[in-house]
Structure 1
Amino acid sequence: MEKVDAVVVGAGVIGLAIAARLSKNLANVVIIDKHKSFGEETSSRNSEVIHAGIYYPQDSLKAKLCVEGKQALYRYCDLRGVPYKPIGKLIVATTHDQQSSFEAVITRAEANGVTDLIRQSSRQLHTFSSELKATAGLLSPSTGIIDSHSYMQSLLAEIEANGGSFVPKTGFVAAEPDDKGFVIHLDIEGEPLKIRTRYLINSAGLYSTQVASSIQGVENSLIPQLHWCKGHYFSYSGKSPFSKLVYPVPEIALKGLGIHGTLDMSGQLKFGPDTQYISDNTEPDHHVSPALKPKFVEAIRRYFPNIDPDKLQPSYSGIRPKLQGPNANFEDFKIESCASHSIKGLINLYGIESPGLTASLAIADYVAASLEGKS
């Protein structure tokens, strides 16, 4: 039976970051994914935003790892030549009543260590875009955008340079812990394979609970319920009227950040995502219905009243693995180690949605420390 040091299940941005981090100290790290390439699910279907860490409750993992991860990600991009732009974000109020929520946003941001928010009057906002309609706003200069595909490519290159490997088209079947680690059962395009590993990292995103339930010794009571939440995006043709990202005041309980305007690395303006909970017992459907356009136009018009609906076209969608249900309050990341499930060498990650991309390097450090019993 082949022996490796670590198996990471799921080659999204989180799994790749974890594998890259572990490969610095372990000689043989294997990352597997059922798809033919890396990042084919949530990691390639998001806003590609480097978040500042503004909204999340103080002392939550989302707050802590987002702020740490943002700084680490900017350093990584500089070091590895990954394309990014720190273009900044405007959080805008479209009514005077919404302005009262700015105080809570600023207080929470400062508690999280984000101290660079700058208040903006309606006149100041107008200098960023004559098309922007808002009574007031906040500027987050440390928010940026990233080429997420290039970032994942860089992580994979790092893994392989350190002697690790990526095995695509490989399904996780089961794992049995013993005193030497784990015996892992895999399905490689219909062919069964068993390998032995010292460490097992479940970073399977949408399928993390299914993987956990296939690991012997993980009690059902420790596996949380996961909710699939679909977010649609529409692209806007022509030159963007905005030079910065534009976000409405956040939704109550952080169910989402509202239908916001973002730019990609080529300057393409897109709007989204909305929030639509879906069934998690089928294959993901990434279709974007044109029938959603009126809802998008209505939301966007609040801060971009001159939007031309004819320029708004269905683009893509992504599905987030949320621990927070449709009518529930905030739920944090869950990164469970031996301290939770009593299985040495196993880490289960659940509900790693936004700001997972931003927090990816900090999550990887957290996982490495957890394996060493330091967190």
Structure 2
Amino acid sequence: MAMQKWWWWASKRVWNRNYCMTSGVARERVECVVIGAGVVGLCVARELALRGRQVLVLDSAPTFGTGTSSRNSEVIHAGIYYPPNSLKAIFCVRGRQLLYQYCSERQVPHKQIGKLIVATGSSEIHKLHYLMDCGIQNGVDGLVMMEGSQAMRIEPELRCSKALLSPVSGIVDTHSFMLSLVGDAENCGTIFSYNTAVIGGHVEQDQLCLHVSQTKHLEMCNGTSPLQPEMVLIPKLVVNSAGLSAPALAKRFDGLHSALIPTPHYARGCYFTLSNTQICPFKHLIYPVPEDGGLGVHVTLDLNGQLKFGPNVEWIDGIDDVSSFLNKFDYSVCISHMKLFYHEIKKYYPNLKDGSLEPGYAGIRPKLSGPRQSPVDFVIQGEDIHGITGLVNLFGIESPGLTSSMAIAEHIAINFFRC
């Protein structure tokens, strides 16, 4: 069955079998619904399907991975930056192991190239020691503290006072990874319905009923009147993996207490690529010490050898629900940021030539903390917190979400499905 035809198939099936109707809207019972076909949603769908569950994946976009999953650094993180015993630390370390294993078995392009986190001044050295302590407590193997001279021997273009080497960090072709996940899920019977938006829901007999509409109708919504669902789905398990729109969607679940839904914050990050060079200046990922809201303007290599710098942090607001559901964020790369990029990059790469940066792409981080606030952990919210049977909300799945994706899926499949 073609994935794009699910909507037609489900509508015909419901009407022909004369399912119970409420206010003229067809209703259909399903086993598992995953909302969002980003990398985490795909991992969850695959994991549930491998365990014999019937899975339906809904996404308002025309295909998978159009949001944060396709607009990131494509880095496999080690697990250094996150407080010990946090979900970010636990899932990053476990997820890294699962991701490397999966990519090796499925021949998904990836490379364990290692990372250097660098201090460019003496005032930053204590931060490196803090990161090393965190990494050791989190179970990250192979961390080495290096003097600047040692780091610069293995990376001659680098300038730093001291560096922390993480040999288990790497890069992955995210699109190939997601494509492989889709194939696995489909082979186990998962149905994907793109151009299909979940616009809300209500609790009925202790179950969450999802309100579903075709994306084209959501796009025509003028915001003056509530959008009526075209179908109501009644799943045993719902995983809200909607990424940037997960909190906005949860607010539309009638029966879910609003106080349990964290306030979303959005941080845009731009990337610039290095042009006019035939030889890549670096072999490792190069990261400065972390900054407010992110990990700093760092050096990332892709599997084709293209060097890119980013992302920066630009806080944005004023995002309404419908725009969030439709991923109508501003992904333009502002040329005015280029001057700041040169300033930040030259702290550790002083030989960067003026005029050698070109605009790349931008992404949005789905954060739960705002400017000058301490970072917040992943939120994986189940019935024990909100009291709704079978609902799992995933909030704030920012970096290291890609690295953690398979571990998050494993956790959900083990802990949240009830037969």
- TM-score, normalised by the number of residues in structure 1: 0.96
Partner SS, residue 364 of structure 2: strand
Equivalent position to 1:41, from 47, 58, 67: 67
Written as runs of structure 1 = structure 2, the 5 A alignment for 1:81-92 is: 81-92=107-118
Give 1:197 deviation, angstroms. Answer: 1.5
Letter in 2 for 1:247: Y
Distance (Å, rounded) in 2 between the aligned partners of 1:80 and 1:17:
14
Give 1:245 deviation, angstroms. Answer: 0.4
Give 1:116 deviation, angstroms. Answer: 1.3
Equivalent position to 1:105, from 131, 154, 159: 131
Letter in 1 for 2:289: V
Q: Deviation string for 1:202-258 (max 9, x for gaps)?
A: 011110011111222111111110001100000001232000000012226xx2110
Q: Deviation string for 1:44-102 (max 9, x for gaps)?
A: 00000000000101111001110110011101111211110000001111112222222
When structure 1 is superposed on structure 2, of 241-250 and 128-137 the one drifting more is 128-137
> Is 1:53 paired with 2:98?
no
Distance (Å, rounded) in 1 between the aligned partners of 2:371 and 2:149:
37
Is contact 1:69-1:360 (8 Å) kept?
A: yes
Equivalent position to 1:4, from 21, 27, 30: 30
Aligned to 1:301: 346
Q: Deviation string for 1:265-320 (max 9, x for gaps)?
A: 11100000001110133530000011111000000000000101211011100001
Aligned to 1:212: 250
Written as runs of structure 1 = structure 2, the 5 A alignment for 1:120-269 is: 120-179=146-205, 181-188=207-214, 189-190=216-217, 192-237=230-275, 238=277, 239-251=279-291, 255-269=293-307
Q: Deviation string for 1:4-61 (max 9, x for gaps)?
A: 2111111111111111111122442011111101110100000000000001011110
Letter in 2 for 1:203: S
Give 1:194 deviation, angstroms. Answer: 2.6
Is contact 1:180-1:198 (8 Å) kept?
A: no
Q: Deviation string for 1:106-135 (max 9, x for gaps)?
A: 111111111311122222222222211111
Letter in 1 for 2:212: L
Is contact 2:210-2:232 (8 Å) kept?
A: yes
Is contact 1:9-1:203 (8 Å) kept?
A: yes
Give 1:323 deviation, angstroms. Answer: 0.2
Distance (Å, rounded) in 1 between the aligned partners of 2:207 and 2:185:
21
Partner SS, residue 189 of structure 2: coil
Give 1:198 deviation, angstroms. Answer: 1.2
Partner SS, residue 61 of structure 2: coil
Aligned to 1:317: 362
Aligned to 2:8: none
Equivalent position to 2:44, from 6, 11, 18: 18
> Is 1:368 paired with 2:413?
yes
- TM-score, normalised by the number of residues in structure 2: 0.86
Aligned to 1:349: 394
Identity %: 43
Partner SS, residue 266 of structure 2: strand
Is contact 2:206-2:388 (8 Å) kept?
A: no
Letter in 2 for 1:274: N
Is contact 1:33-1:168 (8 Å) kept?
A: yes
Distance (Å, rounded) in 1 between the aligned partners of 2:386 and 2:334:
42
Unaligned runs of 5+ residues in structure 2 are: 1-26, 218-228
Distance (Å, rounded) in 2 between the aligned partners of 1:369 and 1:69:
15
Letter in 2 for 1:176: H
Letter in 2 for 1:102: L
Distance 1:210 1:100, change over 3 A: closer
Letter in 2 for 1:141: P
Aligned to 1:284: 329
Give 1:180 deviation, angstroms. Answer: 7.8
Unaligned runs of 5+ residues in structure 1 are: none
Is contact 2:273-2:309 (8 Å) kept?
A: yes
Distance (Å, rounded) in 2 between the aligned partners of 1:99 and 1:26:
50
Equivalent position to 1:334, from 367, 374, 379: 379
Distance 1:180 1:197, change over 3 A: farther
Aligned to 1:358: 403
When structure 1 is superposed on structure 2, of 343-352 and 92-101 the one drifting more is 92-101
Give 1:356 deviation, angstroms. Answer: 0.2
Is contact 2:31-2:235 (8 Å) kept?
A: yes
Equivalent position to 1:94, from 115, 120, 132: 120
Letter in 1 for 2:196: T
Aligned to 2:22: none
* Greater Rg over alpha carbons, structure: 2
Distance (Å, rounded) in 2 between the aligned partners of 1:198 and 1:372:
8
Distance (Å, rounded) in 1 between the aligned partners of 2:375 and 2:266:
15
Distance (Å, rounded) in 1 between the aligned partners of 2:182 and 2:192:
8
Distance (Å, rounded) in 2 between the aligned partners of 1:21 and 1:27:
9
